[in-house]
């Protein structure tokens, strides 16, 4: 049996990550993360340590916040590699809430954790069981920037066919079995050839209730997946979002786990700048 845990957008929220990793213990054979390990939250060191020391094979890729934090880290030491990161995106493009935490996160990580961020690939292709995977944070592309910055929106924010077409602008994705992305913080499932899709945000727009775990049985057709966000979901369900993909049974199961959001937020108010102290930023009701 080959079962794979799929996570994304941890954003330095170890309160949420710890709950998810504990749940996944003894349930999976490998872990995939679609980027943004750091940024926004105040626990970058703990999150990176948990991923770097994970006992199972891991497959990771670079997120835009990972670039921002490593840029600020190397700025502290005036390293030349900072210039390469500025080519990916200008700091003027970054939301003030994100920018304010890049420097704070950078001051809280170790040298080995910086090198982990530095070595993350823009995308990764690999095989697990009998399936082939293409993993990236934003949108699959030959352009490095698109892989970390360009969104692949969930339907119905973008028409289903348009989302599929955008995922295939990079020819390398057309023949893989499973495409995994993150970045939007919105969970979705797309069956390419049958042109079927589901997203939590789509359910919210239609006023339908969603219960978790939510299971999809996928055929041989290619599927495109976004597990949502561990640290800061943005589709109406604030619980830590992730997936388990079982290759042998051809099922993908979406999960949403509660964690101590109010405790996380109470510490965030003390440790984060005013720009992200609004509880609605973390989808927390006070």
Q: Which tens digit of pLDDT belongs to each residue from 265-283?
A: 899 888 888 777 777 877 7
Burial of 96 (0-12, 13-18, 19+ CB in 10 A): exposed
**How confident is the model over 148-155, as a mean pLDDT?**
93
Instruction: Give the pLDDT score at 12.
Output: 97
Separation of alpha carbons 103 and 149, rounded Å: 19
Q: Is the dihedral of CA 45, 48, 50, 53 positive or negative?
A: negative
Q: What is the CA radius of gyration of the chain?
A: 18
CATH code of the domain made up of 3-282: 3.60.21.10
The pLDDT tens digits for 227-254 are 999 999 999 999 999 999 999 999 999 9
The pLDDT tens digits for 104-132 are 999 999 999 999 999 999 999 999 999 99
CB atoms within 10 A of CB 8: 32
C-beta separation of 245 from 215 below 8 A: no
**How confident is the model over 140-163, as a mean pLDDT?**
93
Instruction: Give the pLDDT score at 62.
Output: 97
- Of the candidates 250, 48, 30, 249, the one whose C-alpha atom is nearest the C-alpha of residue 135 is 30
């Amino acid at each position: 049996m080959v079962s794979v845990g799929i996570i994304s957008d941890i954003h330095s929220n170890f309160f949420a990550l710890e709950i998810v990793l504990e749940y996944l213990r003894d349930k999976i054979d490998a872990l995939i993360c679609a980027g943004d390990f750091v940024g926004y939250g105040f626990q970058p060191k703990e999150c990176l340590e948990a991923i770097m020391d994970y006992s199972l094979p891991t497959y990771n890729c670079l997120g835009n916040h990972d670039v921002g934090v490593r840029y600020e880290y190397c700025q502290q030491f005036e390293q030349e590699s900072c210039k390469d990161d500025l080519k990916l995106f200008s700091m003027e493009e970054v939301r003030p809430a994100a920018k304010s935490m890049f420097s704070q996160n950078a001051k809280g990580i170790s040298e080995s954790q910086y090198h982990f961020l530095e070595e993350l690939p823009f995308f990764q292709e690999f095989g697990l069981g009998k399936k082939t995977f293409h993993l990236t944070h934003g949108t699959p592309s030959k352009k490095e920037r698109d892989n970390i910055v360009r969104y692949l929106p969930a339907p119905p924010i973008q028409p289903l066919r348009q989302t599929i077409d955008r995922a295939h602008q990079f020819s390398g994705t057309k023949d893989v079995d499973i495409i995994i992305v993150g970045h939007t913080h919105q969970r979705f499932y797309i069956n390419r050839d049958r042109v079927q899709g589901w997203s939590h945000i789509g359910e919210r727009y239609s006023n339908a209730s969603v219960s978790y775990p939510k299971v999809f049985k996928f055929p041989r057709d290619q599927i495109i997946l976004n597990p949502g966000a561990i640290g800061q979901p943005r589709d109406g369900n604030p619980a830590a979002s992730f997936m388990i993909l079982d290759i042998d049974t051809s099922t993908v199961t979406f999960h949403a786990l509660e964690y101590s959001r109010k405790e996380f937020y109470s510490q965030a108010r003390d440790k984060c700048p005013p720009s992200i102290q609004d509880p609605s930023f973390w989808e927390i009701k006070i």
